[in-house]
């Protein structure tokens, strides 16, 4: 492979011809990563670690770093930077750092250890990740991710993470998410929890050592910029309601993903975009916001009371067969009474080669089409259709284990999946050993996030972004078990090696609360809180969130169209106006007030939702998690438009009422060849 040395294979920069989003944005300067590494891809990170300047251990104590978020990315970063001797202030909105939403990850974490000798390598993991991301990620970043992945496992084992082991006492792996090698390390169905507890314990150790100061039940509500540099945050103590300013030499945002913009998602109730959106409003670019990942195997919505969706591991698709009734009139029948010839195993029918194991986005879209046709199953839920009428739609397809039970026996199936089956039964009240499970896709992960350079620094000096909060290494689509890898890579190994280059110039000028820019940031926050409490309208923040979620899911969900997105933007603007005049938040600002917290998050989601639609509208191509109906092959497959869109869309805040500004960063591949994917 001649291109391994990073010199031969070079793609052409894209030139955009279509302009669907005209009128909604202005075009800004092209963007380049100012610290992009060069040279052979396998040496880039090693060289960079060497080139980056060091900070004398004696000086580290005098430097402070704020880290917002205690998930895998934030927790790992706090622990590591604390160990290095910096003064770290860590923030999370939960009552303990251990509760960050990383805890919910089930499946596993990838690492190119090649323990199975099945041909895995750093390069293969790199290759799979870039390809899986539909060639919309930066190759240098992805290579680095693959490179440090092995160290992550070492680190976690040393911390006492109880990974699954073989009889001989060595670590076990499995293959996950359709890749052909076994590189996924796991701890039963609770990998995220175990990894997070490892990072949390490492961080608590630093709290005891005095290097990390922990602020729980604190929500970041504003970024503080002084002379153009990120120098702190404004946070609200959620218990006392006190608005506090915290100042430092650098700020790290590791605040997770914004999938909750859809209201229903597999994210935690408190997952929000506020931390990154506030930074965006202060000038940080938001990259590829429209890239969302929808997971096909979630438990369907059971009614409009639903507050969140629960994911069930993808592994279920290995043994379950997905079908819907052929006839609409069979949809409310007991599935066991529907004869074999009246069932449509649609994935096996359309994708005979991959069958039920097609990639997440394909499986998800196919389920949506079945339900749109009226062949969905399960309870009908209220929806508003494209013409604004209320309709009742069944949103679910069967995932049937009858074959597997017949073939392997119920005990074997039980052994493999009992915890998932139990969880399903608890939530739905139905026994999946007897009745086919019902599943439906749900929003699960966002690939978009704040734009960062190779050092994970945003375009605001001193503002670093890690984990799901940055636009990350996953391009337009993330492979299973790669988000945990990225969060820990960022936190343990990347940030500590890049932030030092920035801090080599610190400590910066001393500032205190009385600095006018700090004062202004704080007053903004106080003003906003006062505003929420004084609108005194009639609708709860939650009801706005639901309305926004409906719009996003309908028009910016699994399938996006030009007309739909335009309509969505109008609807969101209307919703925003209504929100600011008709919101009702009870209680006071100086106590625990969950409605107030919610109002702030919803306000930011509304603005983000609009930008997501604009980004989706602009990107007239289908790639990864983004499917534009206008860009598909004759048989309905996603069609990428590399000549036009092989770029990162980095959006700059255009001011209140203004238009967002689009900066394009071209994606140039030197170490890998771009290919269209096909699963037929």
What is the footprint of ligand FAD within residues 226-255 (CB under 6 A)? Answer: 254-255
Nearest approach in angstroms of CB 170 to other proteins is 5
Out of 360, 438, 478, 522, pick the active-site residue. 360
**409 C-beta neighbours (distance < 10 Å), count:** 11
Residues 135/475, Cβ–Cβ less than 8 Å:
yes
Binding of residue 275 to ligand FAD (CB under 6 A): yes
Nearest approach in angstroms of CB 591 to other proteins is 6
**Token duo for residue 599:** 């109002």
Count CA atoms closer than 13 A to 60's CA, side-chain side: 19
Judged by beta carbon, residue 82 or residue 436, the one nearer other proteins is: 82
Residue of the chain from 50, 117, 167, 337 that contacts other proteins (CB under 8 A):
167
Strand (E) positions, 95-207?
Answer: 109-110, 184-185
Nearest approach in angstroms of CB 75 to ligand FAD is 7
CA distances from 45 to 290, 603, 675 (A): 29, 39, 26
**93 C-beta neighbours (distance < 10 Å), count:** 27
CA dist 238 and 597 (Å) reads 8
Binding of residue 371 to ligand FAD (CB under 6 A): no
Nearest approach in angstroms of CB 311 to ligand FAD is 4
Among the residue ranges 195-203, 336-344, 604-612, 636-644, the one whose residues contact other proteins (CB under 8 A): 195-203
CA dist 220 and 66 (Å) reads 11
Secondary structure class of 310 (helix, strand, coil): coil
Judged by beta carbon, residue 377 or residue 489, the one nearer ligand FAD is: 489
360 classed as catalytic: yes
Judged by beta carbon, residue 176 or residue 493, the one nearer other proteins is: 493
Secondary structure class of 168 (helix, strand, coil): coil
Judged by beta carbon, residue 36 or residue 592, the one nearer other proteins is: 592
Q: Which residue has tokens 């140039």?
A: 668
Binding of residue 161 to ligand FAD (CB under 6 A): no
Judged by beta carbon, residue 79 or residue 483, the one nearer other proteins is: 79
Total of chain residues touching other proteins, rule CB under 8 A: 81
CA dist 597 and 608 (Å) reads 17
Given other proteins, ligand FAD, none, residue 494, with its beta carbon under 5 to 8 Å by kind, binds none
Q: Give, as ranges, the residues between 536 and 595 that touch ligand FAD (CB under 6 A).
A: none
Q: Give, as ranges, the residues between 107 and 136 that touch ligand FAD (CB under 6 A).
A: 107-109
Binding of residue 38 to other proteins (CB under 8 A): no
Residues 175/185, Cβ–Cβ less than 8 Å:
no
Given ligand FAD, other proteins, none, residue 482, with its beta carbon under 5 to 8 Å by kind, binds ligand FAD
CA distances from 10 to 668, 669, 672 (A): 7, 6, 8
Task: Note the helical H segments in 474-621.
Answer: 483-488, 495-503, 516-535, 541-555, 562-582, 594-618
Binding of residue 429 to other proteins (CB under 8 A): yes
Residues with Cβ within 8 Å of 506's Cβ and at least 6 positions away in sequence, in order, are: 55, 63, 249, 250
**175 C-beta neighbours (distance < 10 Å), count:** 17
Rounded to whole angstroms, the maximal C-alpha distance in the chain is: 76
Which positions from 281 to 320 touch other proteins by CB under 8 A, shown as an x/- string?
---------------------xx-xxxx-xx---------
Judged by beta carbon, residue 104 or residue 171, the one nearer ligand FAD is: 104
Q: Give, as ranges, the residues between 292 and 351 that touch ligand FAD (CB under 6 A).
A: 311
Residue of the chain from 467, 475, 496, 549 that contacts ligand FAD (CB under 6 A):
467
Give the pairing of strands 321-325 and 343-344: antiparallel
Among the residue ranges 101-109, 329-337, 421-429, 512-520, the one whose residues contact ligand FAD (CB under 6 A): 101-109
Judged by beta carbon, residue 163 or residue 653, the one nearer other proteins is: 163
Residues with Cβ within 8 Å of 597's Cβ and at least 6 positions away in sequence, in order, are: 93, 219, 238, 270
Contact residues: ligand FAD, CB under 6 A:
68-74, 91-94, 100-102, 104-109, 191-192, 219-220, 254-257, 266-267, 272, 274-275, 311, 444-445, 467-469, 481-484, 487
Residues annotated as catalytic are 360
């Amino acid at each position: 492979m001649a291109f391994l040395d990073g010199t031969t294979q070079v793609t052409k920069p894209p030139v955009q011809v279509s302009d669907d989003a005209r009128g909604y944005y202005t075009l800004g300067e092209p963007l380049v990563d100012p610290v992009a590494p060069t040279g052979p891809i396998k040496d880039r990170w090693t060289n960079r670690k060497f080139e980056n300047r060091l900070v004398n251990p004696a000086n580290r104590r005098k430097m402070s770093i704020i880290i917002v978020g205690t998930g895998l990315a934030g927790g790992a970063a706090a622990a590591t930077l604390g160990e290095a001797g910096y003064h770290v202030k860590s923030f999370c909105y939960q009552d303990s750092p251990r509760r960050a939403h990383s805890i919910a990850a089930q499946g596993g974490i990838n690492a190119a250890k090649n323990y199975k000798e099945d041909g895995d390598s750093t390069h293969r993991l790199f290759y799979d990740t870039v390809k899986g991301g539909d060639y919309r990620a930066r190759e240098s970043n992805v290579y680095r991710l693959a490179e440090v992945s092995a160290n992550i496992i070492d680190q976690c084992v040393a911390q006492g993470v109880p990974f699954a082991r073989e009889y001989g006492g060595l670590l076990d792996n499995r293959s996950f998410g359709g890749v052909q090698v076994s590189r996924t390390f796991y701890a039963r169905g609770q990998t995220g929890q175990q990894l997070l507890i490892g990072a949390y314990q490492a961080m608590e150790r630093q709290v005891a050592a005095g290097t990390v100061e922990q602020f729980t039940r604190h929500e970041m509500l504003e970024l503080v910029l002084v002379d153009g540099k990120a120098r702190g945050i404004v946070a609200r103590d959620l218990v006392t309601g006190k608005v506090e300013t915290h100042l430092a030499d650098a700020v790290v945002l590791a605040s997770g993903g914004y999938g909750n913009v859809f209201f229903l998602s597999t994210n935690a109730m408190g997952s929000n975009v506020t931390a990154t959106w506030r930074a965006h409003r202060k000038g940080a670019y938001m990259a590829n916001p429209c890239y969302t990942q929808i997971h096909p195997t979630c438990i369907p919505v059971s009614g409009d009371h639903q507050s969140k969706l629960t994911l069930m591991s993808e592994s279920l698709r290995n043994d379950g067969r997905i079908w819907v009734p052929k006839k609409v009139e069979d949809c409310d029948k007991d599935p066991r009474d529907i004869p074999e010839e009246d069932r449509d195993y649609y994935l096996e029918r359309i994708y005979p080669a991959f069958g039920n194991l097609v990639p997440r986005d394909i499986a998800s879209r196919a389920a949506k089409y079945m339900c749109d046709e009226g062949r969905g199953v399960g309870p009908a839920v209220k929806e508003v259709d494209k013409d604004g009428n209320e309709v009742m739609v069944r949103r679910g397809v069967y995932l049937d284990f009858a074959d597997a039970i017949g073939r392997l026996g119920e005990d074997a199936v039980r052994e493999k999946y009992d915890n998932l089956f139990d969880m399903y039964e608890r939530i739905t009240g139905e026994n999946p050993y007897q009745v086919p499970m019902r599943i439906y896709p749900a929003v699960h992960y966002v690939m978009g996030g704040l734009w960062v350079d190779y050092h994970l620094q945003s375009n605001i000096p001193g503002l670093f972004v890690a984990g799901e909060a940055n636009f990350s290494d996953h391009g337009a689509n993330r492979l299973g078990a790669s988000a945990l890898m990225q969060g820990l890579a960022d936190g343990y190994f990347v940030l500590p090696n890049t932030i030092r280059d920035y801090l080599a110039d610190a400590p910066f000028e001393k500032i205190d609360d009385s600095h006018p820019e700090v004062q202004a940031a704080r007053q903004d926050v106080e003003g906003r809180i006062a505003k929420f409490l004084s609108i005194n309208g009639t609708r709860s923040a939650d009801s706005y969130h639901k309305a926004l979620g409906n719009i996003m899911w309908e028009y910016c969900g699994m399938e996006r169209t030009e007309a739909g997105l335009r309509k969505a933007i109008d609807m969101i603007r209307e919703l925003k106006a209504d929100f600011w005049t008709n919101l009702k938040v009870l209680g006071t600002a100086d106590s625990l007030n969950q409605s107030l917290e919610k109002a702030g998050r919803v306000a930011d989601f509304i603005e983000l939702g609009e930008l997501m639609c604009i980004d989706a509208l602009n990107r007239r191509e289908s790639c990864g998690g983004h499917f534009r109906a206008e860009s598909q092959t004759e048989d309905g497959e996603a069609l990428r438009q590399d000549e036009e869109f092989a770029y990162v869309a980095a959006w700059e805040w255009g001011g209140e009422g203004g238009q967002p500004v689009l900066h394009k960063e071209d994606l140039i591949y030197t170490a890998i060849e771009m290919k269209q994917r096909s699963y037929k």
